[in-house]
Amino acid sequence: MQTTLIKNHLFFFAKTIGIKKISGGMGKIMDSKNENKLRIFTEFLFFDNFNVLSIILKIRFLNFFMINYFLKLIIISFFLFFLFLKYNIAENNQILLNEVLPGILLYYGENEEPNEINKGAIANKVAIIGNKSILVYDTGPSKQFAKSFIKELRKYSKKPIKYLVISHRHFDHAYGIEVYIKKKVTIFIDKTEYFYLKKEGPLINNLLIKNLGFNENNINFDDISDEKINFLDDSIEVNLGNRRVLIKNLGIAHTKGDLIAYDYNTNTYITGDVIFIGRAAAFSDANIPMWINVINNKLNLSWDYLIPGHGSIINNMLELNDTKNWLYFLDNAVKQAISEGDMISEIFQYPLPKEIHHLKMKSITLRQGIKKQLNLYRKKYIE
């Protein structure tokens, strides 16, 4: 009984305070008895860690040697060090950037739902550093995140941030825009997406505050005005100093207008939510048939690497199938439901193709978007 208790809590201890793989930001803290329950950091700090420390002090196999107290002291020291490290990361909203390619820094967002702990920092963010200036791709979910991102970026380069590309209006990509406006950065976004950002943004932000515990000063939409934004409906090439970057509007796909970037130095696409890797692509605001067409026909530059909006960087075109196969399933499912008169609950019973079994968040993503797509298909694609 005691051995099992020690093993379980030490495993939880290792999972909780261990340094994560190279990724962005705050760790997700789970309840040791209920893996579906998120723990706030202070609750974790004062309860589970106290239990783990107590167990360490009572480990009996150390008593076989005279040096047992010395070993316990070492264990406790390491325990306190990692606890301090985790505390600083979680409480100070520290984020981590990784130089995944020469001059390209990536904040890796975990494939998970937004919650009170991650504060919506679930999407990838990128900085491209040239000899003279920097381009940032997407702002993150809040001005607090944007400030932390820039602070971390300054550890790599002091060059000015000259350009910001906002891939689309969704909160996990765009709600840190204020910080860049105040820094007088040249900002690119699709015009229709900007309209929906201003129109729907305040309501969505209030829901994030009310339901997910986001900060009340997440974003102030009154500080965002048209004259501070550049609307891009085609493409433009910018030079960061011996580094050319293409910024292109792919048109309607995941949203009403998705902006991507392409770095010529490394032959790298940065696609935002046009591409999802490892998880089901969110599709509430999408035009699914046009999205499929964009992936098949508009990513037409030769590329060695692709950084998606969610998921790991890829270097193989076959990995685009994570998004394409999910979209093919959605397209077929919606059309089948309409033709057979099936209800939404019946769509959830449709068999999933084996090609998408490995994707995370399939059920919740399907629930979030299927009703809107049924209505859209009935109006645009079926009648």
Confidence of residue 4 (pLDDT cuts 50, 70, 90): very low
Q: What is the DSSP string of 303-349?
A: -SEEEEEES--B--GGGGHHHHHHHHHHHHHHHHHHHHT--HHHHTT
Nearest to 321, CA basis, from 369, 365, 354, 344 = 354
What pLDDT is recorded for position 64?
47
Percentage, residues of the chain above pLDDT 90 = 72
What pLDDT is recorded for position 8?
39
Least confident among 77-91, 108-122, 186-200, 365-379 = 77-91
What pLDDT is recorded for position 95?
84
Q: Is the pLDDT of residue 27 over 60?
A: no
Give residue-wise pLDDT tens across range 54-67.
Answer: 555 555 444 544 45
Average pLDDT of the segment spanning 350-356: 97
Confidence of residue 379 (pLDDT cuts 50, 70, 90): confident
What pLDDT is recorded for position 37?
39
Q: Is the pLDDT of residue 258 over 80?
A: yes
* Residue with more model confidence, 100 or 32: 100
CATH number at 98-275+283-317: 3.60.15.10
Nearest to 96, CA basis, from 149, 165, 172 = 149
Q: Is 92 helix (H, G, I), strand (E, B) or coil?
A: coil
Q: Is the pLDDT of residue 10 over 60?
A: no
Sheet with strand 268-276: strands edge to edge: 235-239, 244-249, 259-263, 268-276, 305-310
What pLDDT is recorded for position 14?
41
Confidence of residue 183 (pLDDT cuts 50, 70, 90): very high
> 241 with 262: CB under 8 angstroms?
no
Least confident among 135-139, 180-184, 223-227, 247-251 = 223-227
Confidence of residue 328 (pLDDT cuts 50, 70, 90): very high
- Where along the chain do its domains lie? 2-91, 98-275+283-317, 329-382
Average confidence score pLDDT of the chain: 84
What pLDDT is recorded for position 53?
52
